[in-house]
């Protein structure tokens, strides 16, 4: 059996109907390209979330109030009003708590921000000077909020870079300019450095004002949305959680820790949850892409069956001249393999290119998963063999006399 001759005949056979061959290859291209692109984007989003969380500091611990329990239903995190500035001061000044480096009391609200004819809806954080240290935030220009501005309820604001671009345009210098928040005029004193990320909780798309200004001037509240704490090291996160927990239970006059009106959330907790969600999403997308690859394989089988029908007389003639069953099977498997490998090569190239383009467009890190490429190509090869075998068997099983009579 001359494999080179069979290969040449397979190429000639596929070239006789270029449209049909092209459509078969296209199905494989779409399937493999989808697998690579979707897996890459899923892993890129997971890496982006991990980078954002780690940028905030692995020693960050957030304390959030919990809403009141209703019957057997536990109150929602962030839904309570039990944390106060006094709680934050008690944590900061406690001689019992030895694991905390800095404490940042915070209040968060969402408002429409106006500058001239432009406006945007962003998260407004009421903060103290400690916010910079606790959240590892740095400034691109200007200055941050100082203690005097907190005590005097000053109407000053530090803008995130995305807010600057939305309100004043790319590359603009907003220092000294005025923005309106909830009908109040605020003077821009600083611009924070970009931390990356997107979405409503991104610090790049946020405004920072003095804590007392946010509480009393903008939103009329006395409580805090959260207290952020920087432990002295990542190893002391659990110790900080326990020390602060006992202090707050005592301050809130609670005996049972199960009835605590606050909850802790570490960066490790957030990263674990985000990774789990992202992993599930990636698996779902991969499943959808694999289904499209199988559909492409079914398309190849369908085309090969049509080819067998069209070439019935040719097959009968070859068998009458002594061609063995093994030769017939091999030729049709080669044709199926050529379709899938051609589609695989194009699909891999297209998938990598699309992954890079979409990652750049969505401001995500470009992640190329070698296992996903090998998986896609392996499934492609397996698809060619599996879906090409039945038509090949059918062709090889034709009786020469019956095949020659076929019209």
pLDDT one-digit tens code per residue, 344-397: 888 888 988 998 898 888 777 888 877 777 777 777 777 767 777 777 777 677
At 199 the pLDDT is 56
**Which of 61-93 are b and which e, b meaning 16 or more Cβ less than 10 Å from the residue's Cβ?**
bbbbbbbeeeeeeebebeebebbbbebbebbbe
3-class SS shares of the chain: helix, strand, coil, % to 5: 55, 20, 25
Of 71-75, 139-143, 290-294, the one with minimum mean pLDDT is 71-75
Whether residue 152 has pLDDT greater than 70: yes
Crossing angle of helices 85-93 and 237-251, in 10° steps, is 130
Percent of the chain with pLDDT over 70: 83
Q: Tokens 């780690």 label which residue?
A: 54
Asked if the model's pLDDT at residue 178 lies above 50, the reply is yes
Read off the pLDDT of residues 57-89 as tens digits, 9 standing for 90 and up: 678 888 999 865 544 444 444 556 889 999 999
Tell me what the mean pLDDT of segment 271-296 comes to: 72
User: Which range has the top average pLDDT, 212-226, 263-277, 289-303?
Assistant: 212-226
**pLDDT band (50, 70, 90) for residue 38:** confident
pTM of the model: 0.62
Q: What is the pLDDT of residue 75?
A: 47
Span 42-54, pLDDT tens digits: 778 777 776 766 6
Per-residue pLDDT at 313 = 72
The pLDDT score that the predictor gives to residue 397 is 73
Contact (CB, 8 A) for 342 and 406: no
Please report the pLDDT score of residue 79 as a whole number: 54
């Amino acid at each position: 059996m001359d494999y080179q001759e069979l290969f040449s005949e397979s190429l000639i056979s596929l070239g006789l109907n270029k449209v049909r061959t092209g459509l078969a290859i296209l199905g494989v291209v779409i399937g493999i390209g989808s697998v690579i692109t979707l897996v890459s984007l899923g892993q890129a989003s997971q890496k982006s979330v991990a980078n954002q969380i780690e940028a905030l500091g692995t020693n960050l611990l957030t304390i959030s109030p919990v809403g009141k329990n209703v019957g057997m239903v536990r109150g929602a995190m962030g839904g309570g009003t039990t944390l106060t500035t006094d709680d934050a001061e008690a944590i900061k000044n406690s001689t019992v708590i030895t694991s905390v480096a800095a404490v940042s009391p915070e209040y968060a609200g969402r408002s429409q921000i106006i500058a001239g004819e432009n406006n945007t809806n962003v998260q407004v954080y009421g903060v103290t000077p400690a916010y910079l240290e606790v959240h590892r935030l740095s400034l691109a220009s200007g200055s941050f909020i100082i203690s005097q501005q907190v005590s005097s309820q000053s109407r000053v604001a530090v803008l995130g870079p995305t807010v600057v671009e939305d309100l004043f345009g790319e590359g603009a210098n907003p220092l000294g300019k005025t923005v309106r928040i909830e009908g109040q005029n605020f003077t821009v004193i600083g611009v924070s450095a970009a931390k990356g990320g997107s979405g409503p909780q991104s610090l790049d798309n946020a405004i920072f004002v003095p804590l007392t200004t946010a509480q009393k001037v903008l939103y009329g509240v006395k409580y805090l949305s959260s207290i952020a704490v920087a432990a002295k090291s990542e190893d002391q996160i659990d110790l900080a959680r326990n020390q602060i927990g006992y202090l707050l239970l005592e301050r809130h006059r609670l005996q049972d820790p199960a009835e605590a009106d606050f909850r802790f959330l570490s960066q490790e907790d957030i990263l674990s949850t985000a990774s789990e969600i992202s992993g599930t999403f990636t698996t779902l997308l991969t499943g959808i892409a694999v289904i499209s690859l199988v559909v492409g394989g079914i398309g190849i089988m369908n085309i090969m069956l049509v080819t067998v029908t069209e070439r019935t007389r040719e097959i009968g003639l070859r068998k009458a001249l002594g061609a063995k069953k093994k030769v017939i099977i091999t030729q049709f498997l080669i044709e199926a393999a050529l379709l899938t490998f051609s589609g695989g090569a194009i699909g891999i190239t297209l998938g990598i290119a699309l992954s890079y383009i979409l990652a750049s467009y969505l401001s995500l890190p470009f992640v190329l998963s070698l296992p996903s490429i090998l998986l896609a190509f392996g499934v492609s090869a397996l698809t060619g063999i599996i879906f090409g075998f039945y038509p090949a068997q059918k062709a090889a099983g034709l009786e020469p006399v019956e095949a020659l009579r076929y019209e």
